[in-house]
Chain A
Amino acid sequence: MEILKVEELKMHFPVYGGIFYRQIARVFAVDGVSFSIEAGKTLGLVGESGCGKSTIGRALLRLYEPTAGRISFEGKDITHLSGSSLRELRSDMQMIFQDPFESLNPRHTVGSILEEPFQIHRWGTPLERRQEVLRLLDRVGMPADSVHKYPHEFSGGQRQRIGIARAIALKPKLIICDEAVSALDVSIQSQILNLLVELQQEMGMAYLFIAHDLSVIRHVSDQIAVMYLGRIVEIAERDSLYKNPLHPYTQALIASIPVPDPRRRKTFTPLQGEVPSPLNPPPFCHFVERCAYAQAVCSQQTPQLSSIDGSDPSHRVACHFAGRLSHK
């Protein structure tokens, strides 16, 4: 069952300037993105910095107002919810933030941070809330005496556990993990990833897992979407994507994963150039400037996200030459 469905989501940010403070440009942060997430499954969203991954996460939670498109949660259109129905939605959809140093208010104790979701949603009596807070702390593997401490008294991994406890407090059906482990040491990363996987099995939540680290994404995802400059260029089941990447960008990304084998020599050519500015992206295929296979058609037509003939229909790619590219 689809829990979340996103259709042609666009998120443009206006840029103001000049004497009269008029809109002089737009940042095309997210430019027509469609995908869906199954209940209890994980969709990994991967891409370079600034490609719009986090913007999607925030737009889904309605922290930003989408410019265009449609978001539906459990079959209900939530694109323009407001007021109390928006608040209700937020108990079903939560977020884990990238930076555990920033996402916890330094002036609040851990107890009051974890109690806040219950206060906002008017859940339970003060005593019940406190018991629930202790239960949450225990669930994420934190000692009960953390309640009276402040975030800065904990390490990064512990703080991220607190962030996770806050996100699962209201038993949401979907959690958006916005680079949830990127700020942590590798050894801590695996602990947190395992905790997230355990919680998913226990509570049956779906995850939208945003990351730039392909090995992390591979560890947790059922399905993976690759983003480039505001668009999804390829979306597939995990194994299908890693075994048979179809988009030249995905191929380059996967080829760049380091292999722990000193005898293997580098065989791929790294991507040339920089990501173009989202203020002024190439008009058709966004990847055209850096693509080794680009031809005239790439700057004349926008490639659509579709499956290629004779292969898995769930594996979709936005490239004019998908399936016809051989690994050089």
Chain B
Amino acid sequence: MPVFNFNPLTLNKIKRFKSIRRGYYSFIIFTLLVLLSCAAEMLVNSRALVVAYQGQWYFPTYGDIIPGTQLGFEYEYETNYRVLKKRLQGSDSGFVLLPPIPYNPYETDLKNNQFPPFPPSFEDQHYLGTDTIGRDVAARLVYGFRTAIFFSLILLVVSYLIGVSIGAAMGYFGGLFDLLFQRIIEIWSNIPFLYVIMIVSSIMIPNFYTLIAIILVFGWIQMTWYMRTVTYKEKAREYVMAARALGASHKRVIFNHILPNTISIIVTFIPFSIANGIIALTSLDYLGFGLPAPTPSWGELLSQGSNNLESVWIVSSVIVAMTVILVMVTFIGEAIREAFDPKKHTTYE
């Protein structure tokens, strides 16, 4: 028996998804970007990847701080590897391998007699320039992407867990339970979301998880409606009755029978929810109600850039990055929707 005994219908859907080139390549690139962002410390970091110094090897990326004294400086704080690299150049006592972008998103790189922002410069390895307080724009973009994508992934998982289970329960049990939750949701969805965020962030400074929690409070609703409808539909089909006739419990009917048949609805909505999560975080950050400074974020870069339009590299890089990511996610979403379109292949045939 094969390990992955995929339903041929599912294989068919995957095949069609692959045949939609735009969406399939977007999916590959997007997945790569997410995976790469997990290893961002090795690509964008002020710490060196490898240091060989006086016969000793150091790998500072993920370890503890290596104080300057250990690598021949007079200071006790963390070694500046860029300076170390310059110092070791030409000497035979060792070498330093820096990441492609040798800045972390928090450090300010200032120059004498000049005020940031500095324009892009290959010489300084600020490929996208620096922002208004001298932090590297590329580094903040990369780490901001990582924050945004994991923010929306966590939001997605939790809000779908809540939305799918409440929606499935509403559709399955119907009656008073359904009626009650419909009214609760209607009232709930009329609370203006932005005001709640403003009130909450004026009381406390939200961090990553509290921000997820706040958005979650309103974010579970959307999936609930779809799940409710589709569960109503599936519940009325005879295979559910057959399972009930065999003596299957409600739990078994919902999880073994109904949910697998609603999976295409859930999958279809995932890319659009990811895009929504990114947009939500970015706009909150832009308005200043999001993650506290100095967390790298696209919204914060966007607001800096729009306040300093003469430093066009800030606003243009964040807009290009956002557009590319959102367009890719939308392409993926389109392709999935197309591949799962029930008109193309129906299980009723």
Question: A3-11, A22-30, A116-124: which lies at the B interface?
Answer: A116-124
CA distance A101 to B348 in the complex (A): 6
Contact with A along B53-82 (1 / 0, CB 8 A): 000000000000000000000000000000
Choose one: A63, A148, A153; the contact of B241 (CB below 8 Å). A63
CB neighbours (8 Å) of B256 from chain A are 108, 116
Q: Is the CB of A103 within 8 A of B239?
A: yes
Q: Is the CB of A109 within 8 A of B239?
A: no
CB neighbours (8 Å) of A106 from chain B are 7, 9, 239, 261, 347
Question: Which residues 69-105 in B have Cβ within 8 Å of A in the complex?
Answer: none
* A101-B348, A120-B248, A121-B247 known; A109-B5 Cβ under 8 A: yes
Total contacts A to B, CB within 8 angstroms?
A: 73
Number of interface residues of A (CB under 8 A): 32
Q: Is the CB of B238 within 8 A of A99?
A: yes
Instruction: Tell me, yes or no, whether B337 is within 8 Å of chain A by CB.
Output: no
Q: Is the CB of B5 within 8 A of A148?
A: yes
CB neighbours (8 Å) of B245 from chain A are 61, 63, 90, 94-95
| Dominant secondary structure at the B interface | helix
Nearest B residue to A96, CB-CB = B242
Q: Is the CB of A97 within 8 A of B1?
A: no
Query: Chain A nearest CB: distance from B324 CB in Å?
Result: 36
CA distance A103 to B261 in the complex (A): 13
Number of interface residues of B (CB under 8 A): 26
CB neighbours (8 Å) of A102 from chain B are 237-239, 348
CB neighbours (8 Å) of B179 from chain A are 21
Nearest B residue to A109, CB-CB = B5
Query: Chain B nearest CB: distance from A95 CB in Å?
Result: 5
Instruction: Tell me, yes or no, whether A150 is within 8 Å of chain B by CB.
Output: yes
CA distance A153 to B244 in the complex (A): 24
B residues near A (Cβ < 8 Å) are: 1, 5, 7-9, 179, 237-239, 241-249, 252, 256-257, 260-261, 347-349
Given contacts A103-B242, A152-B9, 13 further A-B contacts (CB under 8 A): A91-B247, A94-B245, A102-B239, A102-B348, A104-B239, A106-B261, A107-B7, A107-B261, A108-B256, A150-B8, A150-B9, A153-B8, A166-B246
A–B pairs, 24, beta carbons within 8 Å: A63-B241, A87-B247, A90-B246, A90-B247, A95-B242, A97-B238, A97-B242, A99-B238, A103-B239, A103-B242, A104-B239, A104-B242, A105-B257, A107-B7, A107-B260, A108-B256, A116-B246, A120-B247, A148-B1, A150-B7, A152-B9, A152-B347, A166-B242, A166-B246
